[in-house]
Amino acid sequence: MSARNQTIQRKLTWVIMLTTTVALLIAGAAIIAYELVTYRKNSFAEIQILAQVMAANANVSLAYDNEKDATEVLAAFREDKSVVAAALYSSNNILFAQFPTNLPRNKFPERPPSSGHSFNGSELSLFQPVRSEDKRFGTLFIRADLTPIYGRIWLYTGIVLLVLAGSSVIALFFSKLLQTSISRPIDALVRTAAVVSEQSDYSIRAPNLGEDELGVLTNAFNHMLTQIQMRDVALSEKEERLRLALEGSQTATWDLNLQTGQVSWDAYNYRLYGLKPGAFDGTFKQFIALIHPQDREQVSRVFLAAVETKKEFVLEYRVVLSEGTIRHMSSRGKPFSNEQGVTTRLTGVTLDITESKQAEEKIRSMNADLEIRVQNRTAELTAANHELEAFTYSVAHDLRAPLRHVDGFAQMLQDELGPNASSETTQMVRRIRTAILNMGRLVDDLLNLARVGRQELNRNQTDLHAMARQVIGELHGDAKGRDVEWRVGSLPAVLCDPGLIHQVFSNLLSNALKYTQGRCPAIIEVGSMSKDGEEVIFIRDNGVGFNMKYASKLFGVFQRLHRPEEFEGTGVGLATVDRIVRKHGGRIWAEAEPEKGAAFYFTLERKPNVP
């Protein structure tokens, strides 16, 4: 078993043992090395002193070439067991005498250096000059055996190993005692984590065996378990609420594992697909088999596109139940990717939309029937409008001749009576002619209204600013003798029927002029503004105004908000304006307040301006 797989107890024991052993080995090696260096240093010092003494004794022998005396001098080395060989060399480096005498000459250096020393294994070779005062007579060579030092080294090594063995036993004993205080809390944490992982029970807590760093770690671990337990409870509550909400909305959840091809369902899916619990084997193949044959290719294509594009999707398809009933489903899904960006899952919800589809089909059928009815009714109304317009035009046209006759007779009667007629008779004749004049105007307005209904639009690019100025010029005679201030702002150029729009401006501006009688000055403003993306044209005055509760009657035929005695008119002008504006695809409305003036707004169907 590798070291990384060992228990904390064994790891702590090995750490303590290894640390102790290494420390003792280093200490023992240091002692042995120190002893070896010290012994060699002392041995060299002793041999050097001995060599100096022997060199002093041998200088006479070398000075007088007395080989016998030189051999006797070297024989003194018998008392020192460490010296294994010695020799005297003459001044020209010729071997003069040796110790022991029976040692072969090749055991001695052929030409020794004048001085110095060297260690060769367990032997020390020393070269000491033999001199008297300033004259050198030769060289003393000594070879000493330092083998006894290695005996001491082995002794020290044995002692170190013995101490190491004893220390290891003691260290093992104390490591068992010490590591328990460290390993027990860790072991308790490990056991608690294992139980929590196996049982998924986050209510379990690890025992706290101290207040040190491991105690802090245990408290943090227990706090983490508490947080997980609280979140687990909250998640369970949310999942239950979600389950109830999904069941209440008749929605099922699903999950497709793209790596295994397995489909996970909740219990409500079995109800949607008409299956008994457990009848679905969880394969994508069986899921596709439940879908209507005509929709299978579409479902597979949408799922594949979601995997490739990593985008959400909404899909509608049909399902064939076991008894042959067809149900409509709507699924919304979302892809999920791993850290490498590869899509591994599709998760979503499925809703039974059969009733909605049936309702849509019913509405579609009703709409088709209603459209036919509307078309028929529109055709009937169109025909009735045409007949009504034709009737109106015919009646108005046929009234012209009788009115002319009546007016002619009234004129003849007035001429016949002459200046002798009574004032009452003259007043009655004048009233007859005034009534005939008003009747003629009404007939003209009705004919104009009927003509607007039949007339086709002849659209041209028209400058409304120039048109407003033109109409104001035409009203110059009616405004003569009055203090009238005309204000013409910016007006657009639009595609419209110039003749009909001229009539709109003429009616609205003449009305503004009429209802500002008595105002000094009378202010009449024409302009345009942008509102909700539309270009709105307005005509505003400071006249008598009207009460807005009667605004719905403004654009009806023969509808008037003021008495004829106050302001003359037929009640057809605003109806004509309304018809012209609606014929252009626009709308018209008014805003007013009694004695504070009125404002009329209208729009025209916008067309691209011609450059």
The pLDDT tens digits for 157-185 are: 777 777 777 777 776 676 666 666 666 67
Q: Please indicate whether residue 508 or residue 572 has the higher confidence score (pLDDT).
A: 508
CB 157 within 8 A of CB 147: no
Closest CA to 192 of 204, 182, 184: 204
Residue 498: what pLDDT? 84
Question: Which of the residue ranges 58-72, 79-93, 524-538 has the most confident prediction, judged by mean pLDDT?
Answer: 524-538
**Residue 231: how many CB atoms within 10 A of its CB?**
11
Are 397 and 419 in a shared domain? yes
What is d(CA 130, CA 86) in angstroms, rounded to the nearest whole number?
A: 13
Percent residues over pLDDT 70 in the chain: 76
Are 342 and 309 in a shared domain? yes
- 591's enclosing H/E stretch is strand 588-592
Closest CA to 78 of 50, 106, 114: 50
What are the start-end ranges of the E strands in 322-445?
326-337, 343-352
Question: Which of the residue ranges 167-181, 198-212, 363-377, 445-459 has the most confident prediction, judged by mean pLDDT?
Answer: 363-377
- In the sheet with 522-531, reading across from the earlier edge strand, the strands are 484-488, 522-531, 534-541, 598-603, 588-592
Residue 469: what pLDDT? 93
Are 550 and 597 in a shared domain? yes
440 pLDDT above the threshold of 70: no
Are 490 and 424 in a shared domain? no
What is the mean predicted confidence (pLDDT) over 506-524?
87
540 pLDDT above the threshold of 90: yes
Domain C-terminal end among 402, 427, 454: 454
User: What's the whole-model pTM score?
Assistant: 0.36
Residue 539: what pLDDT? 93
Closest CA to 88 of 60, 55, 119, 56: 55
Structural domain includes residue 487:
yes
Domain C-terminal end among 406, 432, 454: 454
DSSP letter for each residue of 381-406: HHHHHHHHHHHHHHHHHHHHHHHHHH
Residue 609: what pLDDT? 42
What is d(CA 529, CA 538) in angstroms, rounded to the nearest whole number?
A: 8
Are 436 and 500 in a shared domain? no
Strand-pairing partners, residue 524, are: 486, 541
Domain C-terminal end among 327, 352, 377: 352
Structural domain includes residue 585:
yes
Domain count, the chain: 4
Q: What is the mean pLDDT of the chain?
A: 78
Domain limits for position 326: 249-352
CA angle 267, 269, 274 (to 5 degrees): 110
**Residue 262: how many CB atoms within 10 A of its CB?**
13
What is d(CA 539, CA 601) in angstroms, rounded to the nearest whole number?
A: 7
CB 141 within 8 A of CB 109: yes
103 pLDDT above the threshold of 50: yes
Are 384 and 464 in a shared domain? no
Structural domain includes residue 377:
yes
Write the pLDDT tens digit of every residue in 253-307: 888 888 888 888 887 888 888 888 878 888 888 888 888 999 989 988 988 888 8
Are 488 and 588 in a shared domain? yes
Q: Pairing relation of β-strands 534-541 and 522-531?
A: antiparallel
Are 516 and 549 in a shared domain? yes
